[in-house]
Each structure stands twice: as structure tokens, then as C-alpha cells.
Amino acid sequence: MGVRLDRLRNREFVIAVLIATALATAPLLQFWVNNRGEITSSRPIVDASGLAALIAALVTTRFVLLLRRTNQVVVGCVVGANCYLFFQWQLFDSGPYWLQYTQWLLAAVGISFIVVHLGRRPGAKLFIYIFPAVLVAVPGVSLLAAPQVSHGLVVNERAMISERNTEKSGTPPNVYFLVLDGYARADQLRRVLGYDETPFIDDLKQRGFEVPTETFASYPATFLSIASILEMDHIATSSAALSNGEKPFYPKLQGDNAAVRAFHQRGYTYVHGESGTFSASDCMPQYFDVCIEARGDSRKVTISETEQAVLQLTPFTPLLDAGVLPVGDAFTDPQSVIAQLWQDRPSDPYFVFSHVIAPHPPHRRYGDCSLRDQTAGKLATGWKPELRAGYVDSLDCLNRQLLIAVDAIGSDDPTAIIVITGDHGSAFETPWGSSFESWTNDQILERYATFHAVRLPDRCDNYYDTHEARNIVNSLRIVLACIDGEAPELRQPRAFFHRYGKDLIEFDDLTVFVE
């Protein structure tokens, strides 16, 4: 026993552990660098890195004790190389599951053989020492050197509709603003999916809603579209505005925006409903007055968007895709928003903003609203042709839930203003890899033409009669003007072509967005 423990009391063992832990954590650090513009909390990556390092150290120690005649540094290299491979599942993520695992196992055997063979070469020692250090140092330096982007929102004075507190008799109406992710306009649902939205629209009209037919978003991406709605202005008009990625826009989605400030000035309480799936809309204590938390499927362990992304780097990916692992993300729906709000209801007036992922993938419910055992599609890759049926199911359930929520509000809060809008359309025909010039009018319309419905007091019935009102960036300007009893000061409609991570190009002709 003493002889075995002596193997742990020398420099070679320390080097072996350092190499193994470096190779185990390097891919996670690189993932952090590649996605730092979208990651809202680094805690899951730090935790995963610590766990990977601990496992690598323990496995290295175990094999060093078992393989007493093997070079300890080589043992550390083999363990570390396989840990590194463990987080490279994207190299094998295609074809049948059995083929993916077979390729991964063969790669593990192959890389182990190469490392052992390389470790026997006298001149390889320097490379063995330097290479793991470089893999850690490059992303580490990048993280430390990255500029600290301020998340504080610069107040856009042009977006402020009023600098005063309204002085009027009575309490102003409560406002419910629901953003439904990826909810396309009725004409596009009919063209792309053969889906008839007419019965649902008729039901809304019977409940006092106006459903404009030519509404469109200014941006095709959620973070830009919702931020522009809440800023009540076009928040990115050139590529330079996106130079620091998506993350600087997230506080706008979480409550640090012109609309919330305008409601606060009118004496409103701000109620923020998080989506769960999209972490950029999480409740952040510094921005909300009341938080409506997303909740997961009670049959599963709820994990965050970042934790799911980390798991997708590993051989657990097929098990996640197949629904074998009992894990899932949190999510919300219109009914749960209202139910949670009324459990501990704030005093009137209040402004409720809630971002609901449905009908955007992943699809969690069938048309009758029963939960699927396995979600259909993913947040980032859920627009494949075979997932059209899942989108239709999500629409059927969502429309059912919306009517229940609207009826509940109408019964309990009959004077409330209600806005239901998509942030952008669907993307079954969207050619994300193609240039702006190659997009057809139909492809543009599918992504930009959004569903929009609003219930305003009778005195504001004519507020949607103008062309400017069709651009959803003006939706909260209309609401606030109606509350104030004033004519709305609307922004001129604008729209911008954008592909994630690419340049921003402004449309010079908006006639494409009308039927």
C-alpha cells in the first residue's frame, strides 16, 4: 500500500493531474468564450468545469494507482484527452444513435492509442506539457481580456411618451401584454401551414379585440424585436449596435426599458413574467416589482438553458433528444401567468409583461394541451419541415389557453387593456444561410409578419387606423397614449434584415409586409 501511495507523492503525478484537469475544463472554457454574449449566468459553466476537473483528477489518480508500471504523465494525458473528447459530441451528432455512440467509442480508443504512442517519444515531453496549458490559457485570457459591457440602459428621451405622472380621476386600467414567440400572422399561417386562424380571430373579436391584418415586426430575432417593443423605438439601426453581441440587449427584455419607466411614472407596478426557456427574459431583482416565475414539467428535473447547452456538448445529447433523461427546462403559458398573478395580486394599477415561448419550438404540448413525454424540436433548431405538425399543435393549445386567460381577465378585470402579439413569425422557409438579396418576399413575410391582437377602451378604437400602428414597435406607445387620453406619437415604421451574428441591413421598401 505504501508503494502505491508513493506514486502520488511526486512531481509526475502532480503534472498528470494538472494535464488531465486542464484538458477536461478547456472545452467548457471555450464554450463560455464562444457564447459569452448570450450566457446570462456563468454559474452553470463554472460548476460544470469544477465537476469535470474533479472527475478527471479522481480518474487519473485511480489509474495511476492501478497501472503501476505506466508513466503517470501519459496516464494523465489519456484521461484528459478522453475528457476533452467527452465535450465534443457535435463531431458525432448525426445519423442513428447507435452509429453516434460507435463513432465516439472508436474515437476514444483511437485518441488513447495516439496519446500513448506519442508519450513514448522522447521529444514529445515539451508538447505534452505545453499543449494542455495553451488550450486553457487561450480561452482564459479571452475571458479576462473581454471588455466589460455595461448592461445599464441609456435612457432614450425620444422614446419617453410623457415625463409627468398623469393626474386623472380614478385608477388607470391594468395592462396585460403577452408576447408569444414565433407566432406568425394569419395570412402566413394559411400560406405556409394551411392553418386557418379565422375561428380564433373571430373568438377574439367577439371579446372586444381588434386584430389588424398587416402587422409586422421590425426585427426577425427575439432579442431585438422584444427589446424594440419595450423601448418603444428601433433599438438597433446599424451593424455597430450589435458589435457586443446580444447580451447588452437582455436588460431591456428584463425590465430596464422605456416602457417600464413610463408605466412607473404613471404609478403602475411592473409585473415581469419570465419565459423560462429563453434565459434572457429571466426575472432580475433590480428590474421588476413582481416576478411571475416559469415552472417546469413536474415529471422532470428543471434545468436552465445554459445547463441544457452544456449537456448538449456531451454523449448525453441522444438521451436528451430521445427524452430518456428526466430533465427539462422551465416554461410558462398564458393560463399560468394569470393564475400566478392572482395568487398574490398587486394593487391596481399594474403592467404585466410576459414572454411565452409557444408556439416557438420546443413544442411541449399536443393540440388538446396535454404535455408530451418528449418535446418536439429545440429552441435553436426547431424549424425543420417535419416539425410543422408540432407547431400546429402548439398553436391549437396556445389559442385555447389564450381564450381561457382572456375570459378570466374579462370576468375579473373588465376594464383591463390586453395586448397579444408575436415577436416575429415562423421560419420553416427561412433561408438563414442566404444573403439579404436572395430572400423572396414570401420568405421575408413568413419571418416578419406577426400576429397581433389588442383590446383597448372604446375611446381608443381608432388608434390602429394608421399605417404606423401596424409596426409592433409602436404597440406600447398606443397603450400609453390611450391611458393618457392623448393622440399617440408613433415612430415611423422601419424594418431591418438580420441573421444571428451577421450584419444589420435596413429595408428600403416596406410594401412587402402588407397583404
> In the predicted model, what is the mean pLDDT of the chain?
85
Q: What is the pLDDT of residues 214-268, one digit of tens each?
A: 999 999 999 999 999 999 999 999 999 888 888 899 999 999 999 999 999 999 9
- What's the pLDDT score for residue 161? 33
**Where does the pLDDT of residue 152 fall: very low under 50, low under 70, confident under 90, or very high at 90 and above?**
very low
- What's the pLDDT score for residue 159? 31
- What's the pLDDT score for residue 137? 78
Q: What CA–CA distances, in Å, run from 99 to 51, 168, 310, 314?
A: 28, 69, 22, 15
- What's the pLDDT score for residue 267? 95
By the 8 A CB rule, do 395 and 402 touch?
no
Here the contacts of 296-303 (C-beta below 8 Å, separation 24 or greater) are: 296/328, 296/329, 296/330, 296/331, 297/328, 297/364, 297/371, 299/326, 299/371, 300/326, 300/327, 300/328, 301/326, 301/327, 301/328, 302/327, 302/328, 302/329, 302/330, 303/327, 303/328, 303/329
Give the per-residue SS3 of 265-322.
Answer: HCCCEEEEECCCCCHHHCCCCCCCCEEECCECCCCCEECCHHHHHHHCCCCCHHHHHC
**Where does the pLDDT of residue 162 fall: very low under 50, low under 70, confident under 90, or very high at 90 and above?**
very low
Q: What is the pLDDT of residues 301-339, one digit of tens each?
A: 767 767 777 888 888 888 777 667 777 777 889 988 998
Residues 262, 409, 414, 403, Cα dihedral to 10°: 110
**Where does the pLDDT of residue 381 fall: very low under 50, low under 70, confident under 90, or very high at 90 and above?**
confident
Residue 120 has pLDDT above 50, yes or no: yes
- What's the pLDDT score for residue 123? 67
- What's the pLDDT score for residue 290? 93
Residue 197 has pLDDT above 80, yes or no: yes
Task: Give me the mean pLDDT over the 164-169 stretch.
Answer: 40
Query: Burial level of 472, CB count in 10 A (0-12/13-18/19+)?
Result: buried
Q: Averaging pLDDT over each range in 70-79, 357-366, 449-458, which range is the top one?
A: 449-458
- What's the pLDDT score for residue 153? 32
Residue 482 has pLDDT above 90, yes or no: yes
Residue 18 has pLDDT above 90, yes or no: no
Listed in sequence order, the DSSP H helices in 421-511 are 441-448, 475-484
Task: Give me the mean pLDDT over the 178-200 stretch.
Answer: 96
Strand order in the sheet with 175-180: 290-292, 269-273, 350-356, 175-180, 417-422, 452-455
- What's the pLDDT score for residue 145? 67
Q: What is the pLDDT of residues 394-428, one digit of tens each?
A: 999 999 999 999 999 999 999 999 999 999 999 99
Task: Give me the mean pLDDT over the 439-466 stretch.
Answer: 93
- What's the pLDDT score for residue 515? 59
3-state SS, residue 338: helix
* Cα separation, 93 vs 103, whole angstroms: 10
Task: Give me the mean pLDDT over the 141-164 stretch.
Answer: 44
Close Cβ partners of 2 (under 8 Å, ≥ 6 residues apart):
none
Residue 164 has pLDDT above 60, yes or no: no
How many helical (H) and strand (E) elements, i.e. helices and strands, does the chain have?
Answer: 17, 12
- Domains contained in the chain, CATH given: 2-145 (no CATH), 169-295+330-513 (3.40.720.10)
Q: Averaging pLDDT over each range in 13-27, 116-130, 195-209, which range is the top one?
A: 195-209
Task: Give me the mean pLDDT over the 90-114 stretch.
Answer: 87
